[in-house]
């Protein structure tokens, strides 16, 4: 039976019921019509399927599943193919557990290090976030299981998450907060998108038709269904109209009744309801077709995959005197509660009942030369003097000491934000005291977002292990002992102090209103423009080998904005061991009028090289690599001018640079009046001709070329600079009365007409 016929057979009540859950995790089943239920559950870095009681806070039990590293970790791999592999593995576990849609990935931008849920998000950079999300989606969906891209949109704090209003200007929204979603929707094609709890510019995301219909469907071509975040629906009828198809979880049919009532009263067009039902049913039936009966999973294989992904995602932040990798024969002391009980995932809805967990201590259980002193408890912030002193004493006698530090769950979680960026003080204190007796100290960090490191200068090594998933102990020891070579790079800047973060003054907002006043200057876009020192920059990470970048080539020196630019460069491993390098490509606009970040990430490539080996990397750049979002034409626009292509090891370490001239194929019409600057008029359609005509009537301004004054400052140059900011009205005083206001007005009218012709072209 085709979908339309099926919907025709449904009663109004049945259609309304199809638009909300049957329970906490399943869509509605209607047996007599052959409509099965479909399980829709968390996500994102592993499966959380509850078979007993349900909750969306990750407290109650769920079936054992592989816990992969969280998104804050995997983004640092700068390797989308790993996300695809992870997605495939997760998809297989979903097939085994009969799950039709797994919720995630989360692609919200890390506006501030304080967001309690940053561990579930990829980056402060939208391009990197989008690439990673797309790869994750493609992996899961290759197994016939749907994903749910979340939380749409501008959901960048946990504080007041059910009521807050994110107030974001259009350009910032488009360039920073929507790009990741856009890329993931257009290229990853998720089966579903989850709308966020918060309001965006005064309207709940759940009923925001601008977001859910105009942008998501009309502009980006989304064809799946939109699901509410759990409990995000405010006004059910308004949300159906806006484009939210499925409400989750079940609300005892309370909202279904409102839908029925609205149709009966004529306030909701039944066609809109039919369309919502159809969108849901298409995914449900697709899942029925793709379902694999009796699917099996090799959980050990997935555990090894979790280990590989973790080791490629961890970031070596410091390695003074090449202290790492450790000598496997040395007398090594592991310190810290996290060595035996790692924090490897975050708290809340993504909390997985891990199939197995390997701590660093488990991983070295066969090595007699590695000893352990707990020093502090992983879950608390209290100094236990006995544990403390024991660790210090043992550290004195060891050849090298590795301290496993990190944030306890109570310091960062879904549902609330952090108020500071510090580790528990007991840990800072112990690190400090140990470095005084043992200079060869390494710190391994288990955290979902940046922490201040007051001891960074006094330890010899720092390995950022993030929330590294169930195999994190294996990955950490692989890296510490050199069985794997670190290749992760930071997907977010680590500020020195919280106060340095661009959103610091406004983050969290006033009561429910949070204004994103820093605009597009998020993360390195701010730090680099302001040249503010950070602890570790975006894109930074060390390796046990070294890489040389040479031969940066652009296939053209000049392009139009609708043409592609091919960029190539050679990367060579100049060290002694095999390694991987995450090469980053940033674009800098060197000449434009629009206020922009210093540079923006527009490409990256992870390349694996044997010692001495050289490989070419290549990037293809198109319009969006040069564009900003113009609120005048409501579209992406490239300013004509010079752009620099930067090849970099991090946002602070630009190795190679080449320039390209990009010519815009779209001229933005401007409003021309007698008070418009000549600088703007010159750029308008017909502006150059206007200026020539005007100047030809002012003989005293001609011949400026020849004028030079004594001190070498060209008078002509000076005059031209001054003229730029004069306006047509001011020409009356220049023309000895020759040029009257009527004449000027006439010229302006012609120019205005030319602009409005251009406007019409854009509208059509």
C-alpha to C-alpha distance for 68 and 115, rounded to whole angstroms:
21
3-state secondary structure of 559: strand
Give the nearer residue to ligand BGC in terms of CB position, either 191 or 260: 191
Q: What are phi and psi of 576, to 5 degrees?
A: -105, -5
Tokens 């060197």 found at? 590
Give the nearer residue to ligand BGC in terms of CB position, either 230 or 629: 230
C-alpha to C-alpha distance for 242 and 236, rounded to whole angstroms:
10
Among residues 215, 255, 211, which one has the least CA distance to residue 231?
A: 255
Tokens 């043409």 found at? 563
Query: Could you tell me the smallest distance in angstroms from the CB atom of residue 76 to ligand BGC?
Result: 21
Give the nearer residue to ligand BGC in terms of CB position, either 68 or 536: 68
Among residues 497, 404, 511, which one has the least CA distance to residue 451?
A: 497
The sign one gets for the Cα dihedral 159, 163, 168, 172 is positive
Query: Could you tell me the smallest distance in angstroms from the CB atom of residue 169 to ligand BGC?
Result: 25
The sign one gets for the Cα dihedral 47, 53, 55, 57 is negative
DSSP 12-45: HHHHHHHTBBSSSSBB--BGGGTB---BEEE-SS
Crossing angle of helices 687-696 and 741-763, in 10° steps, is 170
Q: Quick check: 141 and 539 in contact, CB under 8 A?
A: no
Give the nearer residue to ligand BGC in terms of CB position, either 150 or 623: 150
> Active-site residue 229, yes or no?
yes
Query: Could you tell me the smallest distance in angstroms from the CB atom of residue 353 to ligand BGC?
Result: 14
C-alpha to C-alpha distance for 539 and 171, rounded to whole angstroms:
24
Give the nearer residue to ligand BGC in terms of CB position, either 227 or 747: 227
Query: Could you tell me the smallest distance in angstroms from the CB atom of residue 209 to ligand BGC?
Result: 22
Query: Could you tell me the smallest distance in angstroms from the CB atom of residue 229 to ligand BGC?
Result: 5
C-alpha to C-alpha distance for 469 and 71, rounded to whole angstroms:
10
Give the nearer residue to ligand BGC in terms of CB position, either 107 or 176: 107
Query: Could you tell me the smallest distance in angstroms from the CB atom of residue 3 to ligand BGC?
Result: 27
Q: Quick check: 41 and 49 in contact, CB under 8 A?
A: yes
Query: Could you tell me the smallest distance in angstroms from the CB atom of residue 42 to ligand BGC?
Result: 5
Q: Between the CA of residue 344 and those of 59, 273, 301, 351, what are the distances in Å?
A: 16, 43, 19, 10
Give the nearer residue to ligand BGC in terms of CB position, either 87 or 486: 87
Give the nearer residue to ligand BGC in terms of CB position, either 347 or 541: 347
Q: What is the separation of C-alpha 355 from the centre of its chain, rounded to a whole number of angstroms? A: 28
Give the nearer residue to ligand BGC in terms of CB position, either 162 or 725: 162
Give the nearer residue to ligand BGC in terms of CB position, either 103 or 395: 103
Q: Which of 229, 377, 417, 561 is catalytic?
A: 229
Query: Could you tell me the smallest distance in angstroms from the CB atom of residue 197 to ligand BGC?
Result: 7
C-alpha to C-alpha distance for 434 and 388, rounded to whole angstroms:
10
Query: Could you tell me the smallest distance in angstroms from the CB atom of residue 196 to ligand BGC?
Result: 8
Residues ≥6 apart with Cβ < 8 Å to 492: 72, 110, 113, 118, 123, 124, 125, 449, 450, 523, 538
Residue 467, both tokens? 């929330």
Residues ≥6 apart with Cβ < 8 Å to 47: 41, 62, 63, 65, 66, 90, 93, 94, 97, 99, 102, 352
Query: Could you tell me the smallest distance in angstroms from the CB atom of residue 270 to ligand BGC?
Result: 30
Q: Quick check: 588 and 662 in contact, CB under 8 A?
A: no
C-alpha to C-alpha distance for 486 and 754, rounded to whole angstroms:
58
Query: Could you tell me the smallest distance in angstroms from the CB atom of residue 167 to ligand BGC?
Result: 21
Per-residue HEC secondary structure of 44-60 comes to CCCCCCCCCCCCCCCCC
Per-residue HEC secondary structure of 572-638 comes to EECCCCCEEEEEEEEEEECCCCCCCCCCEEEEEEEEEECCCCEEEEEEEECHHHHCEEECCCCEEEC
Give the nearer residue to ligand BGC in terms of CB position, either 194 or 646: 194
C-alpha to C-alpha distance for 24 and 39, rounded to whole angstroms:
9
> Which chain residues interact with ligand BGC by CB under 6 A?
42, 56, 103, 150, 229-230, 349
**Catalytic positions, written as ranges:** 229
């Amino acid at each position: 039976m085709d979908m339309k016929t099926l919907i025709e057979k449904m009663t109004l009540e049945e259609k309304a019921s199809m638009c909300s859950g049957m329970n906490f995790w399943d869509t509605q089943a209607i047996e007599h019509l052959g409509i099965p239920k479909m399980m829709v559950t968390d996500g994102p870095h592993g499966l959380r399927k509850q078979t007993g009681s349900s909750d969306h806070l990750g407290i109650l039990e769920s079936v054992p599943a592989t816990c992969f590293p969280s998104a804050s970790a995997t983004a640092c791999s700068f390797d989308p193919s790993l996300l695809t592999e992870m997605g495939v593995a997760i998809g297989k576990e979903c097939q085994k557990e009969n799950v039709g849609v797994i919720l995630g990935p989360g692609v919200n931008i890390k506006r501030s290090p304080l967001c309690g849920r940053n561990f579930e998000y990829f980056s402060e950079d939208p391009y990197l976030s989008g690439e990673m999300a797309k790869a994750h989606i493609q992996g899961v969906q290759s197994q016939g299981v749907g994903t749910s891209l979340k939380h749409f949109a501008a959901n960048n704090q946990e504080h007041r998450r059910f009521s807050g209003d994110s107030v974001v200007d259009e350009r910032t929204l488009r360039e920073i907060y929507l790009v990741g979603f856009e890329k993931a929707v257009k290229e990853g094609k998720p089966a579903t998108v989850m709308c966020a709890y918060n309001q965006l510019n005064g309207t709940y995301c759940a009923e925001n038709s601008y977001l859910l219909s105009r942008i998501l469907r009309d502009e980006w071509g989304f064809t799946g269904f939109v699901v509410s975040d759990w409990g995000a629906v405010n006004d059910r009828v308004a949300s159906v109209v806006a484009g939210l198809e499925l409400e989750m979880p079940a609300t005892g049919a309370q909202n279904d009744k409102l839908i029925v009532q609205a149709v009966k009263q004529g306030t909701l067009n039944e066609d809109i309801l039919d369309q919502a039902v159809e969108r849901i049913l298409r995914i449900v039936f697709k899942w029925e077709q793709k379902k694999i009966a009796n699917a099996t999973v090799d959980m050990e294989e997935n555990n090894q995959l979790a280990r590989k992904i973790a080791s490629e995602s961890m970031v070596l932040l410091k390695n003074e005197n090449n202290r790492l990798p450790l000598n496997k024969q040395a007398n090594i002391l592991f310190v810290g509660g996290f060595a035996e009980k790692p924090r490897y995932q975050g708290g809340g809805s993504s909390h997985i009942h891990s199939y197995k967990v390997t701590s660093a201590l488990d991983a070295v259980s066969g090595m007699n030369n590695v000893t352990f002193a707990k020093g502090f408890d992983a879950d608390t912030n209290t100094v236990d003097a006995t544990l403390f002193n024991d660790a210090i004493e043992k550290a004195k006698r060891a050849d090298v000491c590795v301290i496993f530090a990190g944030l306890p769950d109570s310091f960062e979680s879904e549902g609330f934000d952090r108020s500071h960026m510090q580790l528990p003080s007991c840990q800072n204190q112990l690190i400090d005291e140990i470095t005084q007796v043992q200079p060869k100290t390494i710190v391994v960090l288990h955290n979902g977002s940046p922490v201040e490191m007051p001891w960074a200068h006094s330890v010899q090594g720092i390995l950022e292990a993030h929330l590294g998933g169930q195999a994190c102990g294996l990955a950490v020891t692989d890296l510490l002992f050199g069985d794997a070579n670190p290749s992760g790079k930071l997907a977010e800047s680590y500020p020195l102090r919280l106060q340095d973060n661009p959103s610091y003054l406004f983050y969290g907002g006033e009561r429910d209103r949070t204004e994103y006043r820093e605009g597009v200057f998020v993360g390195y876009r701010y730090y680099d423009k302001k040249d503010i020192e950070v602890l570790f920059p975006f894109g930074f990470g060390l390796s046990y080998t070294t890489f040389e970048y040479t031969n940066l080539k652009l296939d053209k020196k000049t392009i139009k904005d609708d043409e592609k630019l091919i960029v190539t460069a050679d990367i060579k491993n100049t060290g002694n061991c095999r390694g991987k390098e995450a090469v980053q490509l940033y674009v800098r606009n060197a000449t434009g009028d629009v206020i922009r970040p210093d540079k923006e990430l527009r490409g990256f490539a992870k390349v694996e090289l044997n010692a001495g080996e050289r490989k070419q990397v290549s990037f293809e750049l198109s319009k969006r690599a040069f564009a900003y979002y113009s609120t005048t034409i409501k579209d992406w626009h490239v300013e004509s001018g010079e752009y620099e292509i930067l090849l970099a090891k991090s946002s602070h370490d630009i190795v190679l640079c080449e320039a390209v001239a990009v010519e815009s194929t779209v001229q933005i019409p401007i409003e021309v009046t007698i008070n418009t600057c000549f600088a703007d008029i010159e750029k308008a359609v017909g502006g150059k001709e206007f200026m020539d005509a005007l100047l030809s009537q002012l003989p005293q301004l001609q011949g400026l070329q020849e004028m030079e004054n004594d001190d070498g400052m060209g008078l002509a140059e000076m005059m031209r600079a001054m003229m730029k900011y004069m306006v047509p009205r001011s020409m009356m005083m220049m023309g000895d009365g020759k040029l009257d206001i009527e004449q000027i007005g006439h010229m302006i009218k012609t120019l205005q007409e030319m602009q409005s012709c251009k406007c019409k072209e854009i509208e059509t």
